[in-house]
């Protein structure tokens, strides 16, 4: 599922989706990915536990790479590399 490790500080754009409920974190991430060039990395921070399922499925279906995900202290972080 997670294709490679990426350091916490490595990203080209960040999206704070904390406080948003499904499906908004994923929808906002898709919009932000549209602005990035192929190969760039988006870091997303969310608070919705359902975002884990959403981001995993989205990465598989979209072709974007889910490089890393973290969960802790009520926060969920995802690093996506645009296809």
Measured torsion, CA atoms of residues 14, 18, 23, 26, in degrees rounded to the nearest 10: 10
Measured between alpha carbons, how far is 41 from 83 in angstroms, rounded to an integer? 10
The angle at the Cα of 48, spanning 43 to 50, to the nearest 5 degrees, equals 100
Query: One of 22, 23, 30, 52 is an active-site residue; which one?
Result: 22
Residue 11 catalytic?
A: no
Q: What is the DSSP letter of 12?
A: S
Enzyme catalytic residues? 22
């Amino acid at each position: 599922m997670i294709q490679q490790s990426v350091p916490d500080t490595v990203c080209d754009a960040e999206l704070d989706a904390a406080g948003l409920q499904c499906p908004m974190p994923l929808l906002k991430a898709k919009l932000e990915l549209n602005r990035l060039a192929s190969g760039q990395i988006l870091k997303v921070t969310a608070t919705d536990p359902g975002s884990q399922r959403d981001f995993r499925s989205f990465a598989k279906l979209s072709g974007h790479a889910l490089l890393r995900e973290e969960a802790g202290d009520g926060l969920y972080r995802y690093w996506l590399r645009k296809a």
